[in-house]
Chains A and B, each alone.
Chain A
């Protein structure tokens, strides 16, 4: 018994202290995964804020955009033109979702809209497989001028390896988040987006068209999905199994709150780093596959103590 307690509460920390360079490596890798979780969660948050819809299709949008990009390139379209066309495809998707789904289901209960996004998920899976085939593809990393090498850092005799694509992912994700933040705070469309997130009726009364805003938010979520798709694809592969990873956004959202952009970012990083640390240092105790469920455990525990999320407002039930 005593040795079990030691192996849970003592040994992992001793290991961390003994090999700080390895700890750094683990934290860095968790950090990069965390950024990608954050991007996926960010897509959810954007749509949830603007329309109150839990978009189940966000994960598949990541796969679909990545697949479109790679698929177009396979058909002989130059990489950057393919990137541009993929953006166009994401716009068409946003536009169609608004026209065909949201517009007709407005004022329906949330559960109906949620079901509609499940439908959308299956349509996108079908469409993706039909057009580009179901097999795994590799991301056109070099063609998009993304770096592929790695650098070694040797702090005090230790060894930490940085994949350049990971550094690029971190930088690009940060840039994307900064752009979105500026867009929200400094432009009139951003102001309209915040208005719609706050109050639909009031927005309408000042002449903001909800339909227009929905197209913009779904497009923004599509761009975020595309960036996540490229980065994740470059680290592993582009395949439909990616959408499982996208489900990691759920615990991230529980942690960060469904309506908080900073929450999505911080939540993503906590899950990403926590999961990696746990897998490496405690994984042997609990068996492999811990990466699959650890995030949900954190989220569940968190849910008990702070159901509104890290940055969410306190939920006060009106009676």
Chain B
């Protein structure tokens, strides 16, 4: 793949921009376990970037490094062309990085709308005094944000469960609500940890379509982890392959599929 500094053109004719995030020589350890070893790759503006690899390869750990849940022992994270200092995940969220979780993490006591509204939390500025009184500017602010949430709810076709407490929803819908909450943050970079795990074929197709639409309509850069190779081939512009915490390959879906090391890793061949 020819990599031009300013970006590149995908096979389906989308223009990919400059580097948005760069991970440099990341090493992450948990006691004796080396979850990630010296991994480096970048994520470009407007791109759909997949991270794949066998179980325990360090994929989720990588997302956790990107959104600040984990702090790597070595390496640097560059965002918007600047080296990012160590900071709490809530601060990183404020900088425009949203995510979903491998094991859904929703607010179970809340309805779908309320969950999605938490994604607007950071943008609401009026203090609680005005919010309590429900007058003027605070009411206006609430209305503006609620409208945005309804738009996202429509976009993801979950209007029917707007007022349902999320705890009682089936798995596939919970995943969708989680995506809605992340989208409500209008993130620059969206991290999806196995967005289609445990879904049936039809649900997977829906989710794939939503991911493509999000990328297309909002221009959101997406990094996703996925086990289903056919889904990865359909969605991703570029793929990083991890195995036992080490980078095996980085390239277009076609390139990594042909890579011998990747084939071996997936077939379980020892070295």
Contact = CB atoms under 8 A, between A and B. Distances in A.
B106 A202 contact: yes
Given A201-B69, A204-B69, A209-B90, A190 B118 contact: no
B118 A191 contact: yes
4 closest Cβ contacts across the A-B interface?
Answer: A207-B93, A202-B105, A187-B128, A198-B107
Nearest to A179: B132
B109 A191 contact: no
22 contacts: A187-B128, A191-B118, A192-B121, A194-B110, A195-B121, A197-B109, A198-B107, A198-B109, A199-B105, A199-B106, A202-B101, A204-B69, A204-B88, A204-B93, A205-B89, A205-B98, A205-B182, A206-B93, A206-B119, A207-B93, A207-B122, A210-B90
Given A191-B117, A208-B121, 12 more contacts: A188-B121, A189-B128, A191-B121, A201-B69, A202-B106, A203-B90, A204-B93, A205-B98, A205-B99, A206-B98, A207-B90, A211-B88
B90 A204 contact: yes
Which of B69, B131, B185 has the most C-beta atoms of chain A within 10 angstroms of its own C-beta? B131
Nearest to A202: B105
Given A191-B117, A202-B101, A208-B121, A186 B132 contact: yes
B199 interface: no
Main secondary structure of the interface of A (DSSP, over half): helix
Contact of A206 (B88, B91, B134, B185): B185
A203 B117 CA distance: 12
B90 A208 contact: yes
Contacts of B132: 182-183, 186-187
A199 B93 contact: no
B181 interface: yes
B109 A194 contact: yes
A182 B101 CA distance: 31
B67 interface: yes
A188 B91 CA distance: 18
B144 interface: no
Given A202-B105, A202-B106, A188 B93 contact: no
Interface in A196-243: 197-199, 201-211
B263 interface: no
B121 A207 contact: yes
A198 B108 contact: yes
B121 A206 contact: yes
B124 interface: yes
A199 B121 contact: no
Contacts of A208: 90, 118, 121
Interface in B109-136: 109-110, 114, 117-119, 121-122, 124, 128, 131-132, 134
A205 B107 contact: no
Nearest to A189: B128
A191 B149 CA distance: 15
A183 B98 CA distance: 27
B121 A209 contact: no
Nearest to B93: A207
A36 to B, nearest CB: 25
B94 interface: yes
Nearest to A201: B105
Contacts of A192: 118, 121
B121 A202 contact: no
Contacts of B109: 194, 197-198
A195 B131 contact: no
A188 B131 contact: yes
Contacts of A197: 109
Nearest to A209: B90
A314 to B, nearest CB: 13
A205 B67 contact: yes
Which of A187, A189, A192, A211 gathers most chain B CB within 10 Å? A187
Nearest to B130: A187
Contact of B107 (A187, A202, A207, A211): A202
A207 B117 contact: no
A190 B114 CA distance: 12
Contacts of B128: 183, 187-190
A191 B69 contact: no
Contacts of B118: 191-192, 195, 203, 206, 208
